Amino acid sequence: MKNYLSITDIPDLDIAIQEALEMKEAPYAFAKAGTQKTIGLLFFNSSLRTRLSTEKAAKNLGMEVMTLNVNSDSWQLEFEDGTVMDASKAEHIKEAAQVLSQYCNILAVRAFPTLENKAQDEAEVVFTAFTQYATVPIVNLESSTAHPLQGFTDAITLFELTEQCRKEGRKPKVVLTWAPHPRALPHAVPNSFVKTMQRLDVDFTITNPEGYDLNPEIAKDASIIHNQEEALKDADVVYVKNWSSYVSYGTVIPQEGNWMVTAKKLEVTKQAKVMHCLPVRRNVVIADNVLDSEASAVIQQAGNRTWAAQWVLHKILKNG
């Protein structure tokens, strides 16, 4: 693996899940793989899990870690080619990416979308520039349209949560449900979750209100149901996430009814486990009576971020 920009960069997801679970059992089995190697973590946006789990993963592999909050700690970066840099942006990505590549053996980057300009967001300007100008591998820590480390984490967690289905010899029913949020949120997490589910042997359904269908090029032939109660029926795993409208790009459309996931709504499921990438707004997205119950798998899921990152970094290191 050279770069990790999409869940599709993992050639065999089933094998990757098993190898990541082996790392969970033996975190220091490859403690020398990253000796005398440095990873640079570049954050254009806030993070708790991604930052610390990736740092931990790199350290478990023996790597040195340097973390930069780009917007607050560094020079403002210009990404446009041929621009006259006479305003606030002091450094061009052409120099920055090449300089960072002198200091780091891997660069990992988080850069969220504007949610204002769909074409610009989908062009992944920051990641395109880093992959073009950096001379070392690039890892996506969440871009405008993808969060592949979260996607891989979700695959690992789903495997752990569905042992009973495997014993019964049936596919787990997995439902991705939209839930409310006061702010407009990106599509990166649901996009990567959908792409991940397309690669696993699951019975997958998406439920969201009218106007919130995901990018049809990503959702492709996924079953989309606009009635949450109907969708949740017999679910084994419910993945909860808010996203802003894709068709009315980046907007929050006022909703009738309440899509928040509660214990009452889960009564129609097969005692489903509930996943969410976190952070989660309690009693807006998911009710306390779910998050504080046996149904919640969100802490286990967040813990698995380390093993997903560690598997990816190890593959890149092995590639040289």
Q: Applying CB under 6 A, which residues contact ligand CP?
A: 47-50, 142, 150, 277-279
Q: Give the residue with the Cβ less far from ligand CP, 99 or 278.
A: 278
Task: Provide, rounded to whole angstroms, the least separation between the CB of residue 50 and ligand CP.
Answer: 3
Task: Provide, rounded to whole angstroms, the least separation between the CB of residue 49 and ligand CP.
Answer: 4
3-state secondary structure the chain: CCCECCHHHCCCHHHHHHHHHHHHHCCCCCCCCCCCCEEEEEECCCCCHHHHHHHHHHHHCCCEEEEEEHHHHCCCEECCCCCCCCCCCCEEHHHHHHHHHHHCCEEEEECCCCCCCHHHHHCCHHHHHHHHHCCCCEEECCCCCCCHHHHHHHHHHHHHHCHHHHHCCCCCEEEEEECCCCCCCCCHHHHHHHHHHCCCCCEEEEECCCCCCCCHHHHCCCEEECCHHHHHCCCCEEEEECCCCCCCCCCCCCCCCCCCECCCHHHHCCCCEEECCCCCCECCCECHHHHCCCCECHHHHHHCHHHHHHHHHHHHHHCC
Task: Provide, rounded to whole angstroms, the least separation between the CB of residue 236 and ligand CP.
Answer: 22
Q: Give the residue with the Cβ less far from ligand CP, 101 or 157.
A: 157
Q: Give the residue with the Cβ less far from ligand CP, 46 or 255.
A: 46
Task: Provide, rounded to whole angstroms, the least separation between the CB of residue 155 and ligand CP.
Answer: 14
For ligand CP, which residue has the nearest CB?
50
Task: Provide, rounded to whole angstroms, the least separation between the CB of residue 144 and ligand CP.
Answer: 14
Q: What angle do CA 224, 229, 232 make, to 5 degrees?
A: 70
Q: Give the residue with the Cβ less far from ligand CP, 72 or 102.
A: 72
Q: Give the residue with the Cβ less far from ligand CP, 153 or 162.
A: 153
Task: Provide, rounded to whole angstroms, the least separation between the CB of residue 48 and ligand CP.
Answer: 4
Phi, psi of 290 (to 5 degrees): -100, -50
Q: Give the residue with the Cβ less far from ligand CP, 137 or 186.
A: 186
Task: Provide, rounded to whole angstroms, the least separation between the CB of residue 300 and ligand CP.
Answer: 13
Cis-peptide, bond into residue 279, ω within 30° of zero: yes
